[in-house]
Structure 1
């Protein structure tokens, strides 16, 4: 019965891709121009920075956000990248990952907020996110290469699509996880929905949102190798070249470069959500001092209010008995 039965889903997708390419060529050309300029500009900045200065900046970032131990590790591992002659591909990969992560975050965080505030949007987005997360990453490269040809643009587009879902999901989870009583208290004081979002929900949901940002960056970095198959310069291209020539040395060095960048980005972004949890970081020290000053000021105000409440008021002088 079903011997000759076939649903041509792939043919429909092929026709949709052809329609987009034929009718939205102006949009694809604009995206290509903007993305190429952004990635190439960031790459030029990273490569134009003297290597010792760039390594020192990375170490200071690690110390400021995480710990002096990570700063020392960053210093040594980045010197290792230079020693393996992988500095230029590493900076090309870093530029691609940062730009893709930035685009994904700009899209995913507003979508997550919208999804948390609307059940209809949540119902629509859930299957779309499931599709984006479970579809093999290599499949994204096929239409991306058709639309944007070979180069960094299809790699970035595929990376953005692949890395967006955790940003949307964790932003929604963070907003929905805010205590309802806190939100109701803000409403009782007459705060608008926008004020509640900015003053209550986003600050309280920040650790969860930053966890989503961390996952977006990690997934973007995991796509570096796949982006190399689309012609994007960087460590991914080195890995692809090593696979094609069975060059173990080149593959190990390029893969180790990806690992070093992954550890650096993971540790730094993980600390952004809760800087006070990392006592060895400069930001954590400053955050704890600010919290201590606020707590001391609140205690002083409470003590002053208590003294004024319990102290007897003096009777007015000069009155008639």
Structure 2
């Protein structure tokens, strides 16, 4: 039996492609350490600053602020559900892990948008760039997420920084694709009208293409945030912490209750982020003020 297992492992040993990648990574480790130190400091500072900012308000203050934002952008009923969900997270004792997870998601998503949106814009305006970008995006989306953890740990060790980088790589393709799609779908007559009025290429981008592509672009933002949140448990394997660490401990200890609580907190956070970012993507968003929404809600309540 052991001979058969040895033969199987021998057949799946590293081939020429894997050896080439290993040598490339080794070369980077030997010659690019200063760059990795700069990246490590920048990401650590960004993620740490976001977590500190989110930790400043007490739960009794931050939860109502999120509820007010939900009432403004979505509806009063969703605001009430958000407030109840956040209080449930606090009741389960998972408020600080949720803040850590939210900080990681915001940091990774922000970096993905800063990198991904310009790539999508350049790809839409230069087809030869899209011809190069598209297969890279296919590779990033189809490569198993666990593979990203290996070079991240090799370059940056374990902790928040490699978790953020792995999440960034996994979550960036949607915003690139949807930025490209949104700009390419801008009607030709609008572009021709802009040029007829003497718009430069920069003015055409900022005043015609991006405003018309905004709903599609915001859908890419929504998908990026959701994919970043889906990496929470995987990132916890290399020290990402937060709610992913709670779920991971539940798996390791076979504790169904602990795993369920961590998973439920992730779901609550995901629903709130999803609905809020969807409201930004909606082109026909109803711009009612909070008093108008509250009046409509009370009228519906009294009529029922």
Considering the TM-score relative to the shorter chain, is it more than 0.5?
A: yes
Per-residue deviation, residues 46-80 of structure 1 (Å, max 9, x unmatched)? 22211100101111111121111111111000000
Give, in angstroms, the shift of residue 45 of structure 1: 2.0
2:221 equivalent among 213, 226, 231: 213
1:275, CA displacement in angstroms? 5.8
Q: 1:273 Cα deviation (Å)?
A: 2.2
Larger Rg: 1
Find the aligned partners of 2:15 and 2:61 in 1 and give their Cα distance.
58
| 1:181 alignment counterpart | 189
Please list, as runs of the form range in 1=range in 2, the aligned pairs for 1:203-282 lying within 5 A after superposition. 203-274=211-282, 276-278=284-286, 282=290
Work out the CA distance in 1 between the residues paired with 2:134 and 2:283: 31
Shift of 1:282: 4.7
**Cα shift at 1:280:** 6.1
Question: Over residues 228-273 of structure 1, what are the superposed CA-to-partner deviations in whole Å (9 max), with x where a residue is unaligned?
Answer: 0111110011111111111111100000111011000000011112
Alignment of 1:70-219 (within 5 A): 70-219=78-227
Q: Which moved more, 1:121-130 or 1:26-35?
A: 26-35
Distance 2:109 2:132 in 1: 23
Q: Helix, strand or coil for the counterpart of 2:198?
A: coil
Instruction: Flag the 1:230–1:13 CA change in 2: closer, same or farther, 3 A.
Output: same
Partner residue, 2:8: none
* Contact 1:162–1:220 (Cα < 8 Å) also in 2: yes
CA distance in 2, matches of 1:69, 1:14: 53
CA displacement at 1:277 relative to structure 2:
2.9
1:38 equivalent among 10, 30, 46:
46
Please provide the CA RMSD for this pair. 2.0
Count of matched residue positions in the alignment of Structure 1 and Structure 2: 283
Please tell me whether the aligned partners of residues 111 and 168 of structure 1 are also in contact (alpha carbons under 8 angstroms): yes
From 8, 11, 18, the counterpart of 2:26: 18
Give the conservation status (yes or no) of the 8 Å contact 2:215–2:283: no
Structure 1 pair 283/120, CA: closer, same or farther in 2 (3 Å)?
Answer: farther
**1:8 maps to which of 11, 16, 30:** 16
Equivalent position of 2:6 in the other structure: none
Residue 283 of structure 1: how far off its partner (Å): 12
User: CA separation in 1, counterparts of 2:290 and 2:177?
Assistant: 30
In the aligned structure 2, how far is the partner of 1:202 from the partner of 1:14? 41
Q: Does the CA contact (< 8 Å) of 1:68 and 1:281 recur in 2?
A: no
Unpaired segments of 5 or more residues in structure 1? 286-321
The alignment's TM-score, normalised by the length of structure 1, stands at 0.85
TM-score (structure 2 length as normaliser): 0.89
Q: Following the alignment from structure 2 to structure 1, what is the Cα–Cα distance between the partners of residues 187 and 34?
A: 46
1:306 matched to which residue of 2?
A: none
Q: 1:148 to 1:176 in 2, by over 3 A?
A: same
Q: Please say if residues 68 and 280 of structure 1, whose CA atoms lie closer than 8 Å, have aligned partners that are also in contact.
A: no
